[in-house]
Amino acid sequence: MYSFLTVKNWADYELLDSGNFEKLERFGQYILARPEPQAIWDKHLPESEWSRLAQAVFKKEKGSSEKGQWTLKKGMPEQWVINYKYQDLQLRFRLGLSSFKHVGLFPEQDPNWKFIFDHARQLKTPKPKILNMFAYTGAASLAARAAGADVTHLDSVKVVNYWARENMEASNLDNIRWLVEDAMKYARREVKRGNKYQGLILDPPAYGRGPNGEKWQLEDELNELIKLCGQLLDPTDHLFLINLYSLGFSAFILENLINQNFTLKEDGFREFGELYLLDKGKRKLPLGTFFRFSSVTDKQNPDGK
């Protein structure tokens, strides 16, 4: 099933406007303006309204595609906390203004956190083992842990793992295993050890570096990584989620890779497509492609898909 998924019923987040390669967002009580390469249309609100509303504005350094600086209005903190609620899942995220425009959270992942929480709770294995690779500040790890899973959180950046631990503690969760590792190397070792996981979560970047300078280029590495995942995932009791934020990567690429490396259950859940955010001007801002499946049957599936 090809689907278009977006944020629903999140009181602490909304996309107010987008356009002219920027987005205007509210995180809790604070409103931020920052670059967005996909927003090539005109803004819905006038510039005067952006200037009035935005309490923090990110501007890229000359000659840099990512790095830059924030300009803050009086009273705007560099760090703050927001809440996230879904059914009996209650999380707290510490946000911060980084020098690379990020704030420590990707709101468009809301549908995937719900998928993880819902489906992990319905796996047959008591305390299912879930591995979250490229795990960043841990929202997906927290959703899995809150569902009762035994979670391994893997990211190549040590400070990001510390940030994820802060989010875990703020959310009154515990016992997540933290690894500062190169994802590909770790997956290879796990395959050699014969280990299996009931859940695999991947959100790989377009490019990056491992803790020892290992080079990651999405189009060069993704095929092998999915092959390794095919060997790591429990064939009978499982959930799998991969998300890509990379311009030009179709969800059909993911479909081909999944079909090549996994045998999906006929009565299980499967879905692929695009994630987006809807602004107040009713424009859809595309923010990635995904593929997700699980052994949870259609009758068990809480979304009824």
pLDDT score for 305: 43
pLDDT 10s digits, 143-165: 999 999 999 999 999 999 999 99
Query: C-alpha dihedral over 100, 102, 104, 109, to 10 degrees?
Result: -140
For residue 162, tell me if it sits in a domain: yes
For residue 207, tell me if it sits in a domain: yes
CA atoms of 97 and 145, how far apart (whole Å): 26
SS (H, E, C) 71-138: EECCCCCCEEEEEEEECCEEEEEEEECCCCCCCCCCHHHHHHHHHHHHHHCCCCCCCCEEEEECCCCC
Please, which residues have CB within 8 angstroms of residue 273's CB and are 6 or more apart in sequence? 1, 2, 3, 4, 5, 251, 289, 290
Structural domains of the chain, count? 1
Query: Residue 46 has what DSSP assignment?
Result: -
For residue 24, tell me if it sits in a domain: no
pLDDT score for 217: 80
For residue 99, tell me if it sits in a domain: no
* pLDDT of 94 above 80: yes
For residue 1, tell me if it sits in a domain: no
pLDDT score for 299: 53
pLDDT score for 272: 96
Structural domain of residue 213, as residue ranges? 104-297
Mean pLDDT of 13-42: 97
pTM attached to this predicted model: 0.94
For residue 242, tell me if it sits in a domain: yes
Kindly give the pairing relationship between strand 79-86 and strand 89-96: antiparallel
pLDDT 10s digits, 203-262: 998 777 777 777 778 888 999 999 999 999 999 999 999 999 866 789 999 999 999 999
For residue 80, tell me if it sits in a domain: no
H or E, element range at 14: strand 13-19
Beta bridge partners of 15: 25
Q: Please state, as a whole number, how many other Cβ atoms lie within 10 Å of the Cβ of residue 109.
A: 25
For residue 19, tell me if it sits in a domain: no
pLDDT score for 303: 54
pLDDT score for 152: 98
Could you tell me the CATH number of the domain that includes residue 258?
Answer: 3.40.50.150
